[in-house]
């Protein structure tokens, strides 16, 4: 722990010139010093949050923030052109993984701009406009992936598990959100109907901003905490801190699994009802 009797400048100087200790200890020492700098008004809260996000990116891997395959908006190459266009417009993404036969057989990436710009051309074939798919292992570090995205001008990667099956996808936006927080664009949907999405396995995908009343109505729960209005607020209040990606928290018969979060807030959770104790 930093010595409170030393000035911020003395602590930074000591950090930069002292003998190396373990990376984890050094990282925490620097974060503690920067937090003191924020308290003293030398850096603002947003800058501190982004610095902490950079450290987080250095520690996380693709498996920690990927979009699971069950939540991917896929394009089946064997669909008719009109069906593909309809699916692209409905999902409103800029890039889509395209498969043939099996979802483990990804044959490329389709850019919405290519489809919508050229689909009226004579003899247009979706297959001719596919970009090469980029495959990465679940273990790939986000810091390395971000550099690859930048160097190769690629924005989407297919994440594969140890058996070469598709585990999910990850975009450059997903990585950047770990540093700067949630990035809203003109295609993001804000309606309450999009706050809760039922998945095929029975889980509920929940936005952190979902109000408790809406959640209670959807899952039949009775969460009611004074001063707390959202699901993210409920989980943070229960833990006393912002949880990390992958953490699971049980509250009154509901297990919450953190899907997306940054050092400041929870963005996406999975909610599932725990089996009732029959004993």
pLDDT of residue 134: 96
Is 104 inside any structural domain? yes
Query: Are 76 and 154 contained in the same domain?
Result: yes
Last residue of a domain, one of 156, 180, 204: 180
Q: Provide long-range contacts, Cβ within 8 A and 24+ apart, for 180-184.
A: 180/50, 180/53, 180/262, 181/49, 181/53, 181/262, 181/264, 181/265, 182/260, 182/262, 182/265, 182/267
pLDDT of residue 205: 87
pLDDT tens, residue order, the chain (279 aa): 445 555 555 554 554 445 555 566 667 777 777 777 777 777 777 677 777 777 777 778 898 888 888 889 999 999 999 999 999 988 888 999 999 999 999 999 999 999 989 999 989 999 999 999 999 999 999 989 999 998 998 899 999 998 889 999 999 988 888 777 665 554 444 444 468 888 877 888 898 889 999 999 999 999 998 888 899 999 999 998 888 888 899 999 999 998 877 666 788 889 999 887 644
Query: Are 114 and 208 contained in the same domain?
Result: no
Is 54 inside any structural domain? no
249 beta partners: 256
Our count of domains for the chain comes to 3
Is 1 inside any structural domain? no
Query: Are 125 and 215 contained in the same domain?
Result: no
Q: Is 219 exposed, middle or buried (0-12, 13-18, 19+ CB in 10 A)?
A: middle
Query: Are 81 and 170 contained in the same domain?
Result: yes
Is 31 inside any structural domain? yes
User: Which string of b and e fits 1-12 if b means at least 16 CB within 10 Å?
Assistant: ebeeeeeeeebb
């Amino acid at each position: 722990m930093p010595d409170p009797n030393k000035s911020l400048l003395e602590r930074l100087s000591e950090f930069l010139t002292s003998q190396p200790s373990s990376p984890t200890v050094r990282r925490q020492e620097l974060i503690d010093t920067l937090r003191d700098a924020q308290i003293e008004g030398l850096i603002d809260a947003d800058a501190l949050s982004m610095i902490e996000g950079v450290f987080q990116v250095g520690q996380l891997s693709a498996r920690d923030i990927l979009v699971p395959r069950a939540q991917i908006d896929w394009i089946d190459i064997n669909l008719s052109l009109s069906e593909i266009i309809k699916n692209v417009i409905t999902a409103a993404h800029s890039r889509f993984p395209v498969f043939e036969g099996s979802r483990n057989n990804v044959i490329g990436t389709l850019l919405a701009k290519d489809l919508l710009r050229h689909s009226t051309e004579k003899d247009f074939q979706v297959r001719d406009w596919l970009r090469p798919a980029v495959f990465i292992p679940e273990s790939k570090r986000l810091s390395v992936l971000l550099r690859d995205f930048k160097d190769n001008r690629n924005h989407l990667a297919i994440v594969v598990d140890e058996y070469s099956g598709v585990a999910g996808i990850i975009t450059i936006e997903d990585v950047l959100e770990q540093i700067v927080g949630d990035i809203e664009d003109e295609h993001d949907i804000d309606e309450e109907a999009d706050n809760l999405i039922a998945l095929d396995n029975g889980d509920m995908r929940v936005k952190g901003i979902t109000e408790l009343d809406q959640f209670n109505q959807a899952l039949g729960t009775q969460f009611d905490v004074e001063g707390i209005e959202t699901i993210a607020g409920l989980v943070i209040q229960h833990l006393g801190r912002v949880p990390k990606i992958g953490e699971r928290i049980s509250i009154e018969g509901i297990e919450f699994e953190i899907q997306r979060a940054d050092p400041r807030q929870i963005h996406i959770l999975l909610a599932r009802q725990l089996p009732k104790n029959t004993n």
